Structure 1
Amino acid sequence: MLNPKTHSADYPDSYYAATREYSCDYPKLSEAKDTQVCVIGGGLSGVNTALELSERGYKVVLLEAFKIGWGASGRNGGQLIRGIGHGTAQFANSIGVDGVNALDHMGLEAVDIVRDRVKKYNIQCDLKMGYSDLAHKPRHMRELETEKEWLDSVNYSHETRLLKQHEMHEVVGSSNYIGGLIDMGSGHVHPLNLTLGEANAAQAQGVEIYEQSKVVNIEYRERPVVKTENGQVTADKLVICGNAYVAGINDELEARVLPAGSYVIATEPLPESVWRRVLPKDMAVCDLRVALDYYRLSADKRLLFGGLCNYSGRDPKSIVGTLKPHMDDVFPYLKDVKIEYQWGGMIGIGANRMPQVGRLHPNVYYAQAYSGHGVNATHLCAKVIAEHISGETRRMEIFEKIHHMRFPGGRRFRSPMLAAGMIFHRLKDLF
């Protein structure tokens, strides 16, 4: 019987956990450490912040409550897509036109950081370039046309192409879409292997990594003191990368991010004749609806199909039972294909869908709320924080000028409010 194990202390029973390329048995913190930078969180944000800083010569200690890549970093759909937020133009009043342009270009840079890191450290994570947005309605096509015009205007260095309805068979074997936009500068990846490979690289650079070392208290002093159940770390600077799992670490950060459930199913390996019909170019794809579907092929040609963003705080009774009908709607000819894995977890959602990067104090940094676009955005935000700590750039100050609303009330009240908002936007999308 399948067991998603979405909230246990070990990895969920996912396709990613079953196909790990890297061992990760880091010790538990059991003593007092003194370092230059302490990083809380062993996901993509924390691991890459530690790696960026260690490459710059900093002494870093990283603390993870469970396992490296345990949260969304090791459970997501593996989509590596340009961009770091939703609708950057909305922030022009606070960051100016130059700030908006900087964010847009950082969204392109974010993918390059991942590609360069995989190449530099020879990380085995099934990185494959090629992605397509999928349009259900004319409004979606107008959005894609505008996006294509912008990419052309900034001399985007990768191939892009708009697809009309009769051309969609080149990308996806479904009649559900009226068009799309191919982007060969985006792609897909095995996210858990990416995270674990980067953690190995960080450790090789001198980062001390500790698992099963949940933070129980932080003393915000001139040199912050981070306490775990069996040890503590005193550091010159602290970086908090808890994201959807920041609860209990800092009340201010928790109030700005809402954990939302996201889920994925994986089929049995598909015969070549079938997978070439499903995704002929082996691209990652994603539709443009609010209640979106996203899917791709794994290295061994399983269909990984995700969606079902859930704000209730409760997992569905059956992930397969809830997601499989969506997959069958897109690919009716896969109705009898066996589902071999199902899993889920929490992603961090912010009210304005822009990653939150900044400082709680001059020596306490944070990054969170990637709203489903974390594979690339985490890498960019980690680089921005490391640059600021080392005095290289002031790009982080662009992020700090963006206002992030606190969700009113405790989580008990925030989830129903956001769920109601989601229903409104789904109805708006439908009609």
Structure 2
Amino acid sequence: MNLLHVNDRAGEYPASYYAATRAPLGPFAPLQGAVRADVCVVGAGYTGLSAALHLAQRGLSVVVVEAHRVGFGASGRNGGQVGSGQRNDQDDLERVVGAANARHLWDLAEEAKGMVKSLIADHAMPLRFHPGIAHACWTQSQVRHARDYAEKLRRDYGYDEIEPLDREAIGRLIPSGVFAGGDIDRGAGHVHPLNYAIGLAQAAVAAGATIFERSEVTRIHHGAKAQVLTAQGSVTADHVILAANGYLGGLEPQVAARVMPINNFIVATEPLGDRAAGVLSEPVAVADTRFVVNYWRLSDDNRLLFGGGESYGWRFPDIVKTVMPALTDIYPDLRGVRIDRAWGGTLAITMTRNPCFLRVAPNVLSASGYSGHGVAMATLAGRVLAEAVAGQAGRFDLMASLPTPRFPGGVALRWPLLVLAMTWYSLRDRLGL
């Protein structure tokens, strides 16, 4: 099976709330025949489109090949959260790479958030950046950790945008009464993810990049001049950037051994009207502290967009049945609410939850495996990849130094082993451990 096709129609966006409210963007033509470029980018999500934009701004000729549509994959289906820091806490990074490099990684993540905001403004993209992400804790120990971590970021990194919340304060923000406390990060925020991808595509094309849709890559021939093949054409390029994330499939075994595709799901309720005040008292996004994270926010028309549940097989399960138990655990008053949209998507994780930056060959670079933290980091990855192609590889090498070991058992066994591990963690979530 091929994840590019097993759950979706060729060349079509899923039936998501984001697709239903997307900005206009006509289709780009498929690749036909042989073309030549300085750089060929595989995948038109945040990573690939950001790379194309930054490469084109440097004056390089860039071709982007996308199997379906711009933002078709995780970039157009996710929760839209633009979080602070890396996917792993700074405590963990300090232990792994040392205090100095951990500081560089924090600064990169702050740059990534700033990039999202500035790109939206500078290119008049068809969306807004909404400030604020709350982290909702289920237990008192998690509340204490959140408070201590906010203090660490203030003390050691000069980041003072996080406000700790006790049970009463989190209850005012999230009037469900189920959380022990948490915090709110005013420096983070959320966006319409598909419109952000569309905005990046428009900016890249305006800078001189060429995008081909409905152009699934079937093979890559490595060499001093790499050749990227599709069913109806080919791109010969000095450099190749692999930016397909969870949809890379078997194109590059070195990446596949380190990056695991998993499925995640979101539902959109009917417009809630006055009931929206019982969901959130501010227009912020929320993520909880479950290992299998629940995340949610209100749309501009007061629908609850609620994400949760994961699956590790090829085909999507019944999405509404997968997501609703978590939604109604948090908001029991919404039992029986009408669900107008339900969709799934494939993201990519690594064993360590660090992003995987890899030099596959001297002229082939890859970035993927953002582990649910990709809106900002994938945008930054595109810039870092563009720098590396231009001969400035310092930041790429720093990201590549983060440990991203191969999954045990290789590509063949990574999926069943992950299922066993995630089943255990899901059980821990249900038991409140």
Name the counterpart of 1:7.
8
Instruction: Supply the distance in 2 between the matched residues of 1:425 and 1:417 (Cα, whole angstroms).
Output: 13
Name the counterpart of 1:97.
99
Name the counterpart of 2:229.
227
Name the counterpart of 1:425.
425
Calculate percent identity across the aligned residue pairs.
36
- The residue type paired with residue 271 of structure 2 is P
After superposition, the Cα gap between the structure-2 partners of 1:94 and 1:185, relative to the gap in structure 1 and judged at 3 Å, is closer
How far apart are 1:342 and its partner, in Å?
0.2
Map 1:215-254 onto structure 2 (within 5 A).
215-254=217-256
Conserved 8 A contact 1:312-1:416: no
TM-score, L = length of structure 2: 0.94
Instruction: Supply the distance in 2 between the matched residues of 1:75 and 1:114 (Cα, whole angstroms).
Output: 17
Conserved 8 A contact 1:40-1:63: yes
How far apart are 1:92 and its partner, in Å?
4.8
After superposition, the Cα gap between the structure-2 partners of 1:200 and 1:328, relative to the gap in structure 1 and judged at 3 Å, is same
Instruction: Supply the distance in 2 between the matched residues of 1:419 and 1:138 (Cα, whole angstroms).
Output: 29
Name the counterpart of 1:378.
378
Instruction: Supply the distance in 2 between the matched residues of 1:92 and 1:223 (Cα, whole angstroms).
Output: 39
Q: Deviations over 1:393-422 (max 9, x none)?
A: 611111222232222446552212011112
Conserved 8 A contact 1:6-1:343: no
- The residue type paired with residue 285 of structure 2 is A
State whether structure 2 residue 85 is matched by structure 1 residue 79: no
Name the counterpart of 1:164.
166
Instruction: Supply the distance in 2 between the matched residues of 1:337 and 1:156 (Cα, whole angstroms).
Output: 43
Instruction: Supply the distance in 2 between the matched residues of 1:154 and 1:384 (Cα, whole angstroms).
Output: 25
Map 1:20-31 onto structure 2 (within 5 A).
20-31=22-33
Instruction: Supply the distance in 1 between the matched residues of 2:152 and 2:310 (Cα, whole angstroms).
Output: 29
After superposition, the Cα gap between the structure-2 partners of 1:61 and 1:111, relative to the gap in structure 1 and judged at 3 Å, is same
* Aligned-pair Cα RMSD in Å: 1.9
Deviates most, 167-176 or 239-248:
167-176
Name the counterpart of 1:207.
209
- The residue type paired with residue 356 of structure 2 is Q
SS across alignment from 1:395: helix
Q: Deviations over 1:31-75 (max 9, x none)?
A: 211111110001111111111111222211100011111111111
Name the counterpart of 2:361.
361
Q: Deviations over 1:337-377 (max 9, x none)?
A: 21100000111011110111131122111001011111111
Map 1:401-416 onto structure 2 (within 5 A).
401-409=401-409, 411-416=411-416
Instruction: Supply the distance in 2 between the matched residues of 1:136 and 1:275 (Cα, whole angstroms).
Output: 22
Instruction: Supply the distance in 1 between the matched residues of 2:173 and 2:199 (Cα, whole angstroms).
Output: 30
Instruction: Supply the distance in 1 between the matched residues of 2:336 and 2:281 (Cα, whole angstroms).
Output: 20
Name the counterpart of 1:330.
330
Conserved 8 A contact 1:387-1:393: yes
Name the counterpart of 1:131.
133
Q: Deviations over 1:184-231 (max 9, x none)?
A: 111111100100111011001110000011111111111111111111
Q: Deviations over 1:85-118 (max 9, x none)?
A: 2245445566332111111222222111100100
- The residue type paired with residue 348 of structure 1 is A
Any unmatched runs of 5+ in structure 2?
1-5
Instruction: Supply the distance in 2 between the matched residues of 1:219 and 1:155 (Cα, whole angstroms).
Output: 44
Instruction: Supply the distance in 1 between the matched residues of 2:158 and 2:64 (Cα, whole angstroms).
Output: 36
Name the counterpart of 1:395.
395
TM-score, L = length of structure 1: 0.94
State whether structure 2 residue 34 is matched by structure 1 residue 32: yes
Instruction: Supply the distance in 1 between the matched residues of 2:172 and 2:59 (Cα, whole angstroms).
Output: 47
SS across alignment from 1:352: coil
Deviates most, 136-145 or 406-415:
406-415
Name the counterpart of 1:308.
309
SS across alignment from 1:101: helix
SS across alignment from 1:256: coil
How far apart are 1:277 and its partner, in Å?
2.2
Instruction: Supply the distance in 1 between the matched residues of 2:172 and 2:392 (Cα, whole angstroms).
Output: 44
Name the counterpart of 1:115.
117
After superposition, the Cα gap between the structure-2 partners of 1:343 and 1:222, relative to the gap in structure 1 and judged at 3 Å, is same
Instruction: Supply the distance in 2 between the matched residues of 1:116 and 1:38 (Cα, whole angstroms).
Output: 25
Alignment coverage as a number of residue pairs: 426
Q: Of the candidates 39, 55, 58, which is equivalent to residue 57 of structure 2?
A: 55
Name the counterpart of 1:288.
289
SS across alignment from 2:394: coil
Any unmatched runs of 5+ in structure 1?
none
How far apart are 1:329 and its partner, in Å?
1.4
Deviates most, 53-62 or 405-414:
405-414
Instruction: Supply the distance in 2 between the matched residues of 1:93 and 1:172 (Cα, whole angstroms).
Output: 34
After superposition, the Cα gap between the structure-2 partners of 1:305 and 1:406, relative to the gap in structure 1 and judged at 3 Å, is same
